[in-house]
Structure 1
Amino acid sequence: MKKINYIIFAICMITAAGCSKSFLEKNAQAELIPEQLTTQKGVEALLTGAYGLLNGNLNGTWGNYGAAPSQWLLGEAISDNAHKGSSDGDQPNMTALEIHEANSNNDNLENLWVRCFEGIVRCNNTLKYLALVQASDKSFPADRAAEIAGEARLLRAHYNFYLVRVFKNVPLITETTTESAVDNMKDIYPAIVEDLKFAVANLKPTSPKGEIGRVNQIAAKAYLGKVYLYQKKYLDALPLFNDVIAARPTIESLPFTNNFDVTKENGPEAIFSVQHSVGTDGTGGENGNVGDMLNFPYGSTPISCCGFFQPSFDLTNAFKVTPDGLPFLDGNYRLKPYISDYGMTDAEKLSYVLDRTIEFDPRVDYTMGRRGVEYLDWGIMPGDAWIRGVTIGGPFVAIKNVIKASEIAGNTGPGNPNVTGLNVNIIRLADVYLMAAECEVEAGSLPLAMNLVNKVRARAALLPKKQAVGGNAAVYKVNPYLSFPDQVYGRNAVRFERRMELAMEGHRFYDLVRWGIAKKTMTDYFAFEGTYLKFLTKAVMEDKDEYFPIPQSQIDRSKGILKQNPGY
């Protein structure tokens, strides 16, 4: 079985975003002309190019952070889960996002906008040339043509969904668009839904062409359910989630760690994953996970770049559990907070001893690195020696996006060990379980919701205990809920479980916004986290900050047809 090799094509797009007429009169070198594309092979190549934007990269490796498929910046670092990290002066536009002071010239927002629309244009061209080939070549297999259209429309829905979550007011560009610019004040969710419905109807449960990495009907159903969930259409979403759950082994049988292991990718839990490849393109890793290339521990480490993306104090403490092995749904995890060696003098740090008596959900040490605890096969996490700016990012480091030291040689880009081949899960099975549980809560089916949550928790209980000097690194405990006494309790339990299970995977801020609790959650968070990281004391989240400003460069290019989001 093989992954798709992502090839980035330089193709003249004959669309609203396309080339001038004079340019079309010449056959430029290294470009494909329409005659070459109006073939079955040409359409397949266009579709491969549409997949190519999933890693958020147009060229090179640096600078793709806003468009990272992991959404570590716009989904996590601006939430209560994580910090930009690194040092004070590095990537100041990221800091502006973290403290909710972004403006329309923020390069990370421009990055996401440009990459996603490039992906949309590639999907549109796939559909356009597919129609031309079908009209002229009657030998084109009808079933493959339907699959291609399904793949392209699911990918287009994905790019549009990434845009609408961040900007809300997004222009809809399809294969039939002829205008040079399109108004962005119409709701594009109906179009996203239609694309996903088409994909469900025209894809099979197995991967097209038998190639791992291509989207299939299971991915389409999960994605359609997720979009319905964002629209609060719980009764529409639930049957789709149930179909996905039924199509895969039970979650308890699938190791949690396989989701973050470069040697165990594309297993049964992977519903829709961005495929990353390194060492095969001769470019130093352009097809790899370039979006996460900054997000490794700093200092003398196997991969020493660049100290970004650090878990928050708040997230760390949220993993503490009650004596019954349940989360502190009331927020009391912030009482007597665990802060590792933060704030100690240099002399005190020399004699620091890990407190191994804290009762923690075991997922804490598979989500972050803590001083004194084993970290993959890198050794015991030493604290400040792996952190670039403790007063900017705190004492913890990310782990889910990091690969083992023993796997670096064969799974990193030539000359770029911080560009790995680790895939990014856009949707994985545990996510589907918890989205289904959310639907059950909103439908009033509390026992069914609790059962789904408890299955995820049962899998967490199987995690091997992380070690420290002296034995287990904590008193690990994660027990099932015995009841959801009412809907409010059940809703809070499901939401808390999403945070624990999916932390640092790009979901958190978007979840807070769709639940309508972003402003309150972030206000409470800034008050708590600012106790330790003083730069957060000036952070304020306003209502407008649920969405971000349209890049000013795009408004200028549209000659005013694009309208700025309210408040910016």
Structure 2
Amino acid sequence: MKKINYIVFIALLFTAMGCGKDFLEKNPQAELSPEQLTTQEGVEGMLTGAYALLNGNLNGTFGNYGAAPSQWLLGEVTSDNAHKGSDNGDQPNMNLLERHSPTSTNDNLSNLWVRCFEGIQRCNNTLRYLAALQGGSGIKFPEARAIEIQGEARLLRGHFYFFLARVFKNVPLITEATKENAVDNRTDIYPQIVADLKFSVDNLAAVNSKQQVGRVNKVIAQAYLGKVYLYQKKYAEALPLFNSVIASRANIETLPYTDNFDITKENGPESIFAVQHSVGSDGSGGDNGNVGDILNFPYGTGLPITCCGFFQPSIDLANSFKVTAAGLPYLDGTYRADPYKSDFGLAGADKTNYKVNRTLAVDPRMDYTMGRRGVPFRDWGIMQGDSWIREPSNGGPFVAYKNVIEAAQVSSGTGPGNTNVTGLNVNIIRLADVYLMAAECEVEAGSLGRALTLVNNIRTRAAKLPGKSADGSPVASYKVSVYPSFPTQEYARTAVRFERRLELSLEGHRFYDLVRWGIVKQTLESYFGFEGGYFAYLKPVLIEPRDEYFPIPQDQIDRSGGVLKQNEGY
């Protein structure tokens, strides 16, 4: 399904701009009247407009970073997985997020708030006008489609609210029934998110009646409700939902890992809920594309895409892919011993003559997650190191991989005149995520055998990834083995959490995982102690209780007349 690049305006209050009575009887230019919207076409248009906000874009391609569906900034750069990248002076408010010292005027936070609430308002308007249509005297929807529209709108509303709750925690609840101009933000909104998603689970079919790619359905609702339950630590409620999703798809071991990041393989069997991106065909110049990741490509001359050097994987993340002689992760954190840094910190002849360490024992997912010097990078050729990086001393020696498309796909897969806006979809939830969330539930239930099976399904699939070679030889000693057992619950818990990092790194989950696991302070302070040894701007960074969430945008507090309250500590 194509995204749309227009906003449906709802005129509820008209302003007289002339003195003639006949003017008051005319609809304002470029606005639709309630009568026009209280139709099947009007309601369907408003619902499509709600889908349109999934890519976080209201107007234009630049500036949508905080609202990116990939959550690269607020879900990854704020964690131990990635640096902002680029140079220190570019987008300084992102530096503050990486160091966990943002202010309430940070434009990236306001960006997410405004986009999500615009999406919520579009969902609310869809529900409001649907109710008016079905209760009126005009031509109504068949009952089945009316209920399906409610399920779609409520799932999308739950999604927007979930994105807000993870970042801000204290969020005002506004539904189609809300009449107040300003709403207090000290009420827990999770019950409403759950209610919306439960309605969608109960009322959506496995295949949407519109049969359009990108429409939400029952399977998506089950996965999303399970995820929300997981965030609430309601493991017993979440697990049956995850099991239903797993049963609806092929065994993950049969599904190629790389299909998740291939523009020609989108919406395949592993994709559960994906934001649909479109470029070129709508003439928008990329407004309907992946605008949130517009900055996140290698930076250098002669490259297929050359902007803008942001979103660089951390040295810590690179080393987490190292494996023991048995082919298992270093769960105890000793992967940081004798750290691998590529050519970072080298100078002179050592820098010029650097050769990739072909004996480095790593999980092959490393080279499908990040680009590193001496290793083939998609069909772009051998990653050349510093010449592909804007400021290595600021962002490190690695570049992001999963959000990048093949060079051969640039002409057809990027926006007209805007090659760093791609049509690559972003997976909000994919099947591997569901497997690992189910494994989490099994661990907490004490079902270590099933948790072991689920994790090993993911690792067996990873072992099938082809290792990369240069000059006829492998560029690493690739190895992935399955766990022989989970001897204790604590060991299993650590293994599942580590597997989430390896499998889902740079996909927007990491910081939120650390928060919900209750380990954000010890994890990030340890990380800053390690990573700060290479990047002085990261040391020291202390994590306070407030840092599990971010400040409410000050302009929103001001507009509410003080009804909205700032999060504690900001």
Length-normalised TM-score, structure 1: 0.97
Please, which of 525, 529, 532 is the counterpart of residue 531 of structure 2? 529
Question: How big is each residue's C-alpha offset from its partner over 1:380-401, in whole Å with a ceiling of 9 and x where there is no partner?
Answer: 0000000001111100000000
Q: Note if contact 1:4-1:214 (Cα within 8 Å) is conserved in structure 2.
A: no
1:234-291 CA-partner distances (Å, limit 9, x unpaired)? 0000000000000000101110000000000000111000000000222210000000
Q: Distance in 2 between matches of 1:294 and 1:25?
A: 48
Deviation of residue 9 (structure 1)?
Answer: 1.8
Distance 2:460 2:168 in 1: 37
SS at match of 2:272: strand
Q: Which amino acid aligns with 1:40?
A: Q
- What aligned pairs does 1:175-186 form with structure 2 within 5 A after superposition? 175-186=176-187
Query: Would the alpha carbon gap of residues 13 and 271 (structure 1) be closer, same or farther in structure 2, given more than 3 Å must change?
Result: farther
What amino acid sits opposite 2:78 in the alignment? I
Match of 1:161 in 2: 162
Verify: 1:424 aligned to 2:422, yes or no: no
1:6 to 4, 7, 19: 4
| In 2, Cα distance between equivalents of 1:336 and 1:53 | 45
- How far does residue 34 in structure 1 lie from its aligned partner after superposition? 1.2
- Provide the aligned length of Structure 1 versus Structure 2: 562
**Aligned residue identity for 1:422:** L
Read off the aligned partner of 2:405 and give its amino acid letter.
Answer: I
How many angstroms apart in 1 are the aligned matches of 2:404 and 2:213? 22
1:140 maps to: 141
- 1:116 maps to 116
Q: Partner residue of 1:361?
A: 363
Q: Which moved more, 1:399-408 or 1:34-43?
A: 34-43
The question of whether the paired residues in 2 share the 8 Å contact of 1:200 and 1:221 is answered with: yes
The answer on 1:381 being equivalent to 2:377 is no
Match of 1:310, SS state, is strand
Alignment of structure 1 residues 97-246 onto 2, 5 Å: 97-136=97-136, 137=138, 139-246=140-247
In 2, the alpha carbon distance for the partners of 1:98 and 1:126 equals: 37
2:311 to 309, 315, 322: 309
Q: 2:478 aligns with which of 476, 482, 488?
A: 476
Unaligned 5+ residue runs, structure 1? none
Structure 2 distance, partners of 1:560, 1:5, is 36
Distance (whole Å) between structure 2 residues aligned to residue 22 and residue 294 of structure 1: 44
Shift of 1:514: 0.1
Q: Secondary structure at the match of 2:501?
A: helix
Does the C-alpha gap of structure 1 residues 221 and 25 become closer, same or farther in structure 2, counting only changes over 3 Å?
A: farther
Give the C-alpha shift of residue 455 in structure 1.
Answer: 0.2
Shift of 1:466: 1.0
Aligned match of 1:74: 74
User: Does the 8 A contact of 1:64 with 1:291 survive in 2?
Assistant: yes
Deviations 1:313-364 (A, max 9, x none): 0000000001110000000000000000000013321100110101100000
Find out whether 1:409 has 2:407 as its counterpart: no
Mapped to 2, the partners of 1:215 and 1:379 lie a distance apart of: 38
Aligned to 1:488: 490
Cα RMSD (Å) of the superposition?
A: 1.2
CA separation of 1:164/1:21 partners in 2, compared to 1, >3 Å: closer, same or farther? farther
SS in 2 for 1:417: strand
Matches within 5 A, 1:310-325: 310-325=312-327
Q: Name the CA distance, whole Å, in 1 between partners of 2:15 and 2:520.
A: 47
Aligned in 2, Cα 1:44/1:7: closer, same or farther, shift over 3 Å? farther
Whole-Å Cα distance in 2 between the matches of residues 286 and 421 of structure 1?
10
Secondary structure of the residue aligned to 1:129 is: helix
Question: Partner of 2:298: helix, strand, or coil?
Answer: coil
2:166 is paired with a residue whose SS is helix
Partners of 1:4 and 1:254 in 2: how far apart? Answer: 25
Q: What letter corresponds to residue 376 of structure 1 in structure 2?
A: R
| Structure 1 residue aligned with 2:439 | 437
Residue in 1 aligned with 2:20? none
Cα offsets for 1:444-491 (capped at 9, x unmatched): 000000100000001101111111235111111010001000100000
Deviation at 1:527, TM superposition (A): 0.3
Question: Could you tell me how far apart the structure 1 residues matched to 2:527 and 2:384 are?
Answer: 27
1:252 aligned residue = 253
Q: Is the 8 A contact 1:309 1:397 kept in 2?
A: yes
Cα deviation 1:29-83 (Å, max 9, x = unaligned): 2222211111111110000000000000000000000000000000000100000
Distance 1:460 1:73 in 2: 26
Per-residue Cα deviation, 1:391-439 (whole angstroms, up to 9, x for no partner): 1110000000000000000010001000000000000000000000000
Mapped partners of 2:141, 2:261: distance in 1? 39
Match of 1:95 in 2: 95
1:296 aligns with 2:297: yes
CA distance in 1, matches of 2:33, 2:68: 30
2:514 aligned with 1:507: no
1:56/1:115 contact within 8 Å kept: yes
Output the amino acid matched with 1:372. G
Q: Contact conserved, 1:278 with 1:284, CA < 8 A, in 2?
A: yes
Q: Distance in 2 between matches of 1:106 and 1:561?
A: 20
Letter in 1 for 2:253: E
Identity %: 68
* Aligned with residue 398 of structure 1, among 397, 400, 408: 400
Partner SS for 2:539 = helix
Would the aligned equivalents of 1:276 and 1:423 in 2 still touch at CA under 8 Å? yes
Report the 3-state secondary structure (helix = DSSP H, G, I; strand = E; otherwise coil) of the residue aligned with 1:374: coil
Give yes or no for contact 1:555–1:564 (8 Å, CA) kept in 2. Answer: yes
Name the amino acid aligned to 1:213: G
* Aligned equivalent of 1:456: 458
1:20 Cα deviation after fit? 6.6
The runs of 4+ residues in structure 1 deviating greater than 3 Å are: 19-26
Distance 1:100 1:287 in 2: 31
